[in-house]
Structure 1
Amino acid sequence: MKKTTIKDIAKLAGVSKATVSRVLNGSKYVSPEAYNRVMKVIEKTGYKPSSIARSLVNKKTKVIGVLITDISNPFYSELVKGIVEVANVYDYNILLCNSFNEFKKEVEFLEILSNKEVDGIIFMTKGVTDEHRNFLRSFKKPVVTVNRKVKEFKIPNVDIDNFKAGYDATEHLIKLNHKRIAIIRAAETDETAGVERFEGYKKALDDYKVPFDNRLVMEGDFKAKSGYKAMEKFLRLENPPTAVFCVNDEMACGVIKCVVENGLNVPEDVSVVGFDDIPLASLFIPSLTTIKQPIYDMGAVAMRLVYKLIKGEKIDKEDYILPHKLVIRQSTKKRN
C-alpha cells in the first residue's frame, strides 16, 4: 500500500504543499478554511508526518543528549528520572550515554551527540578535561551541567553547595566528640566530590581546632568496594579513625561492611556519614546518616533550563544551587 505524502494531502485538500507544511508545523498563518480542509484530509487518510522531515523543517530533532558516568549508581538513575519526566512534559526524547567513568568515552559520546544533531545536552562527567573544554568551544547548541561547573564558560550548572555540605557532614561528627575523622574523597579531577567537599571537611576541622591528618585521607571511586578497601587501610593505622565521612553513600556502605567484618560495630566503634541519600541509605543496617541531595529535582531543573535555552529564552543566572540537608540516622553516635 502506497504511503500517503504531503503532496497527496495537498492535492486532496486543494492547497499547496507549502500550506500543508505550515499546518503541520504551525510556522506561518493559514486561513481557517484551508486549515480545516487540510486537517479533514489528514484525519481521513490517517497521515502521520515523518519525524525526520519535520525536524528538517523545524531545525529541531526534539532530542536531548544526556551524558552520565555510571547508570548503575543510584544517584544517576534518580537524576535521569527527573530529566526524563520533565522531558516528557515538553514532548522531548532523551538519548542517554553512559561512559562507565572513562574520560575517552565521554568525549566520544559528546561528539556522537553533536553528530546526531541533538537540540541540547545535559551532562555530568567524571571531571572536566581540555577535551571537554574544546568540545564546549565548538558546540553551538544549549548545554547544561549538573554537579560540574565549567568556570571558563557561561554554562548553567545545577548543583548544591558542596563546600557547605562537606562542612556540615564533618561538623556533625565533630559535635559528636570525634577527633579522628577520616574522609574518603573522590579524585582531584572531580571539582565537587574531589575538591569542594574535601575543602569543606578541612574547613570544619580548622574551625573547631581538630588537627588535620593526611593519613586519614583516602581516595575512592564511588563504589562500595573502594570504600571497603580504604577502611581496611584506616583500620591498620596505629591510631585509626573513630569516624569516617564518605563523599557518596555507596562508599559509606562499603565502609560499614568492612568495620563489621573486622569485628567492630557501627556506630559504637566507628561513626559513618555518607552523601547523596540514595534509597539504600535508609534501608541499610544500620541506616546511614548522610547529606541529602535533591537528586530528582536537580535533573528536573536541568531539563527545564535546557528547554528554555532551546526556545531562545533568557535565563537569569548561571549557578542554580538547590538546598541540601543533613539526615541523621543510626550510623553516627556521640563518642564518650
Structure 2
Amino acid sequence: MITIKDVARLAEVSISTVSRVINDSKPVSPEVRKRVLKVIEETGYKPNDVARSLVTRRSYLIGVIVNNLAQSYVADVVRGIEEIGKMYGYDILLSSSYGSKETQEKYLQLLDRKQAEGLFLVGNKFDEEIVQLAKSFNKPCVFFTRDVYEKMNYITIDSKSAIYEVSQYLIEEGHKKIAYFSDYENRTTVENEKVEGYLKAIEDNELEYSKVYVVGGNKHSQAYELGKSIINEAGDFTAAVCSTDEIAIGILDSMIDNGIKVPDDVSVVGFGNIREGKFVRPEITTIGEPYYDVGAVGMRMLIKMIKGDKTQQGRMELPFTIEKRKSVKKLI
C-alpha cells in the first residue's frame, strides 16, 4: 500500500509538503504542487480520511435527511446533491426518516457525531422542533420543504405564480369553472401560496365559480377516494388544478374509473412533474419543479456557507415550467 512517505520520496519533497498539498492548508509553489499531484495520480495514493480530518479539522461530509426515499422526486434531488458534492470533494451521508420525528432526531444527532460540516433536509414538512434542533448544531443547514419557518435557508419555486400561471393557461383555453384540489386542511406555507395563486387567477378574470376541495393527504389512494365521493359534482367544473401530481393522478384515475372522461369532460392539471405523470393516460399537464437543480443549487449554497459566505442565506428561488401535455382540453 502506498503511503504519504512514498509520495514524499517519489516527489522529492518532505512529508509536510505532501500534507499541505493534500489539505490545501498552506501555500505551496505551483511547480511543487504539480509534482506532488502527479505522483499521487500515478501511484493511486489515497489520504487517510480520519488523519486528514484531524489535521484540517474538517470531515468533508454532508448529512442528508430525506422523509421518503421511495418518492421519485427525492432521487432527483439527491442526485443533484451528490454530483455537486463530488465536484467539490464532499461525501454524502444519506438517511431516510419516513416522516418520523424520532428518527429525524436520531439521524441529526448521528450526523453531528460524525462531524458532518453541513445538513440538507428534504421533505414535505418538518416539525419546528426538528428545524430548531438542526440549527442548534451551529452548522450550515439547507431545506427543501413545503413548510417554511423564519430564518430558514431553503430552496423553492414561486408556487403562487406557478398556480396562477397554470390557472391562467386553463382560462385562456376556455375554462371558466375551475376547481382546486388541496392536500391537507392544515396547510403548509407553500400550500397557502398555491391556494392564493388559484384564487387570484379566479379574481383577476372575474370568474363566478371557485371551489377548494381538501384531499386530506397527498397520496394517490386518498385523492382517488375523494374523486369517487364527488363524482356527482364533476359536472360543476370543467378543470381541476391539483396541489401535487400524486393528487392529480388519483383524481384522474378516479374520474376515468367512474365514467368521467379526461380531458373531454374534465381537464386535470398537477404540480411537480414527477416521472409517473408521463406514464398515465392521458399524460398529465403539470407545473415542472427542477428537482435536480434543487439538489445541485442547494448543495452549492451549503458549500458556500461552509466556506463562510453569509450572502448565501435565506430563500433561494428557482424557475418553474408549465409542461403542457394531454390532460387539458381546449374549449374555445
TM-score (norm 1): 0.83
Over 3 Å counting, the alpha-carbon distance change for 1:11 and 1:82 in structure 2 is closer
Q: Which among 84, 91, 94 is matched to residue 92 of structure 2?
A: 94
Shift of 1:48: 3.5
Which residue matches 2:164?
167
Which residue matches 1:217?
213
Q: Which among 260, 264, 267 is matched to residue 268 of structure 1?
A: 264
Which residue matches 1:226?
222
Give me the whole-angstrom Cα distance separating, in 2, the residues matched to 1:174 and 1:40.
63
Give me the whole-angstrom Cα distance separating, in 1, the residues matched to 2:39 and 2:315.
49
Shift of 1:143: 1.2
Q: Secondary structure at the match of 2:62?
A: strand
Q: Secondary structure at the match of 1:88?
A: helix
User: Structure 1: any 5+ residue segments left out of the alignment?
Assistant: none
Which residue matches 2:183?
186
Further displaced range: 47-56 or 169-178 = 169-178
Q: Which among 116, 122, 125 is matched to residue 124 of structure 1?
A: 122
User: Structure 2: any 5+ residue segments left out of the alignment?
Assistant: none
Over 3 Å counting, the alpha-carbon distance change for 1:301 and 1:41 in structure 2 is closer
Give me the whole-angstrom Cα distance separating, in 2, the residues matched to 1:38 and 1:172.
60
Give me the whole-angstrom Cα distance separating, in 2, the residues matched to 1:44 and 1:71.
38
Give me the whole-angstrom Cα distance separating, in 1, the residues matched to 2:328 and 2:269.
7
Which residue matches 1:156?
153
Which residue matches 2:82?
84
Give me the whole-angstrom Cα distance separating, in 2, the residues matched to 1:318 and 1:24.
33
Shift of 1:248: 1.6
Q: Within 5 Å, give how 1:17-166 maps onto structure 2.
A: 18=16, 21-29=19-27, 48-148=46-146, 150-153=148-151, 155-166=152-163
Give me the whole-angstrom Cα distance separating, in 2, the residues matched to 1:57 and 1:303.
25
In the alignment, residue 164 of structure 2 is paired with which amino acid? Answer: Y
| Contact residue 61 and residue 119 of structure 1 kept, 8 A | yes
Which residue matches 1:200?
197
State the Cα deviation string for residues 88-131 of structure 1 (Å, max 9, x = none): 21122222222223344333332322222111111223324331
Q: Secondary structure at the match of 2:115?
A: coil
Which residue matches 1:284?
280
Shift of 1:85: 1.7
Further displaced range: 12-21 or 120-129 = 12-21
Shift of 1:258: 0.9
Give me the whole-angstrom Cα distance separating, in 2, the residues matched to 1:291 and 1:157.
19
Further displaced range: 159-168 or 273-282 = 273-282
In the alignment, residue 84 of structure 1 is paired with which amino acid? Answer: E
In the alignment, residue 207 of structure 1 is paired with which amino acid? Answer: D
Over 3 Å counting, the alpha-carbon distance change for 1:111 and 1:234 in structure 2 is farther
Further displaced range: 156-165 or 64-73 = 64-73
Q: How many residues align?
A: 331
| Contact residue 67 and residue 98 of structure 1 kept, 8 A | yes
Q: Secondary structure at the match of 1:65?
A: strand
Shift of 1:151: 4.1
Give me the whole-angstrom Cα distance separating, in 2, the residues matched to 1:201 and 1:158.
22
Over 3 Å counting, the alpha-carbon distance change for 1:267 and 1:21 in structure 2 is same
Aligned residues with identical type, % of pairs: 38
Which residue matches 1:251?
247
Q: CA RMSD in A?
A: 3.4
TM-score (norm 2): 0.84
Over 3 Å counting, the alpha-carbon distance change for 1:170 and 1:104 in structure 2 is farther
